[in-house]
């Protein structure tokens, strides 16, 4: 069994660390939150005084941090995790961060003789708890193969997307599709309402026609057609509007750096920016239908 250092025991990181403990690994955790560290102890892990202490004799380091800023701060520099961990340590960064920082950290890792993959996830807190996350992995083949057994404990679908940063690239491209398609489905339902077309009728037709997509058939933004979608629970978040906005901004940043033209991505970013700015950060991202309807009323 491996010695795993787990840095970032938040909504996602804590259940992921729990699954590694349940699989028999020796997990030492670090987080800024003391209550979280106490909970890790109760779950069978060990609390470290700092991230640097956690990685000192680790075989594997998993990080699940808010953004590229925290990842760069912790990984890089003289006293950073890449310098402090034993040479040859396997690093798995599962935070969703910008592609540029992911590649900068990967370069620093290979310079320091460390193995590293970027491995952002989709599947949310439910997927983290159930161990059914999808991991989109970027990095060299040997690091991917070494990371796979650990990712398989925390997830169900593990995809090697290519070299360093490609996991992050896959994540933001996918979520740009999702943000755009959700707004498209919401707009269609709002138009249907104005035209006197019943929600269920539109669903029955479009779910088997060319308008079919995940935002319609799995995550339908009006209550009724898909009983498990957040619309049926007053848009209580599975995936918050704030998280969607974060990923859309990352996609826009990457598009601007890479010179890609993404007008629909830009429009979706603007719409979610307004939705979040109006006090809906914690609302499920499908709740944007209320905003598009021009009211906060029920669907």
Residues with catalytic roles: 171
Site string for ligand NAD, 74-93 (x = CB under 6 A): x-------------------
Is 101 a binding residue for ligand NAD by CB under 6 A? The answer is no
Contact 112, 103 (CB under 8 A): no
Instruction: Name the residue nearer to ligand NAD (CB basis): 33 or 208.
Output: 33
| Residue 179 CA: distances (Å) to CA of 83, 156, 183, 279 | 38, 23, 6, 18
Residue nearest to ligand NAD (CB): 10
Three-state SS at 185: helix
Q: Which of 64, 72, 99, 283 binds ligand NAD (CB under 6 A)?
A: 64
Is 121 a binding residue for ligand NAD by CB under 6 A? The answer is yes
291: phi > 0 → left, psi -120 to 50 → alpha, else beta; which? alpha
Is 65 a binding residue for ligand NAD by CB under 6 A? The answer is yes
- List of long-range contacts for 270-274, beta carbons under 8 Å, 24+ apart: 271/183, 272/179, 272/241, 272/244, 272/245, 272/248, 273/245
Is 186 a binding residue for ligand NAD by CB under 6 A? The answer is no
Q: Which residue has the tokens 């079919």?
A: 212
Q: Name the one range near ligand NAD by CB under 6 A: 60-68, 136-144, 176-184, 286-294.
A: 60-68
Residues between 20 and 49 that touch ligand NAD (CB under 6 A): 30-33, 36
CB of 46 to ligand NAD, least distance (A): 15
Three-state SS at 80: coil
Instruction: Name the residue nearer to ligand NAD (CB basis): 52 or 202.
Output: 52
Would you tell me the crossing angle of helices 141-154 and 13-22 to the nearest 10 degrees?
90
Is 7 a binding residue for ligand NAD by CB under 6 A? The answer is yes
Closest CA to 61 of 71, 34, 165: 71
Is 202 a binding residue for ligand NAD by CB under 6 A? The answer is no
Q: 111 φ, ψ to 5°?
A: -65, -30
Instruction: Name the residue nearer to ligand NAD (CB basis): 32 or 260.
Output: 32
Residues between 208 and 267 that touch ligand NAD (CB under 6 A): 239, 243, 246
d(CA 278, CA 187): 19
d(CA 8, CA 17): 9
Closest CA to 155 of 178, 135, 182: 135
CB of 167 to ligand NAD, least distance (A): 12
Q: Which of 11, 200, 218, 228 binds ligand NAD (CB under 6 A)?
A: 11
Q: Which of 51, 72, 231, 289 binds ligand NAD (CB under 6 A)?
A: 51
Three-state SS at 122: strand
Is 13 a binding residue for ligand NAD by CB under 6 A? The answer is yes
Q: Name the one range near ligand NAD by CB under 6 A: 65-73, 135-143, 184-192, 217-225.
A: 65-73
Chain positions contacting ligand NAD, by CB under 6 A: 7-13, 30-33, 36, 51, 64-66, 70, 74, 95-96, 121-122, 124-125, 239, 243, 246
């Amino acid at each position: 069994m491996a010695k795993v250092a787990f840095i970032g025991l938040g909504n996602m990181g804590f259940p992921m660390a729990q699954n590694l403990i349940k699989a028999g690994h020796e997990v030492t955790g670090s987080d800024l939150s003391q209550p979280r560290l106490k909970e890790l102890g109760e779950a069978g892990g060990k609390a470290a005084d700092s991230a640097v202490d956690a990685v000192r004799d680790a075989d594997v380091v998993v990080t699940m941090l808010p953004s590229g800023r925290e990842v760069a701060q912790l990984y890089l520099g003289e006293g950073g995790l890449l310098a402090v961990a034993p040479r040859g340590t396997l690093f798995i960064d599962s935070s969703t961060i910008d592609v540029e920082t992911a590649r900068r950290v990967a370069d620093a890792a290979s310079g320091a003789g460390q193995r590293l993959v970027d491995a952002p996830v989709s599947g949310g807190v439910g997927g983290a708890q159930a161990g059914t996350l999808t991991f989109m992995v970027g990095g060299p083949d040997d690091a991917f193969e070494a990371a796979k057994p650990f990712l398989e404990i925390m997830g169900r679908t593990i995809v090697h997307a290519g070299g360093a940063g490609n996991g992050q690239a896959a994540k933001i491209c996918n979520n740009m599709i999702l943000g755009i398609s959700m707004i498209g489905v919401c707009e269609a339902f709002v138009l249907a309402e104005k035209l006197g077309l019943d929600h269920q009728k539109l669903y029955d037709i479009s779910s088997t026609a060319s308008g079919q997509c995940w935002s319609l058939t799995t995550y339908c933004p009006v209550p009724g057609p898909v009983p498990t979608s957040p619309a049926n629970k007053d848009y209580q978040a599975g995936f918050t509007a704030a998280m969607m906005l974060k990923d859309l901004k990352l996609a826009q940043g990457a598009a601007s750096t890479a010179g890609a033209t993404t007008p629909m991505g830009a429009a979706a970013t603007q719409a979610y920016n307004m939705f979040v700015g109006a006090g809906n950060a914690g609302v499920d991202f499908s709740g944007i239908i209320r905003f598009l309807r021009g009211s906060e009323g029920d669907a």
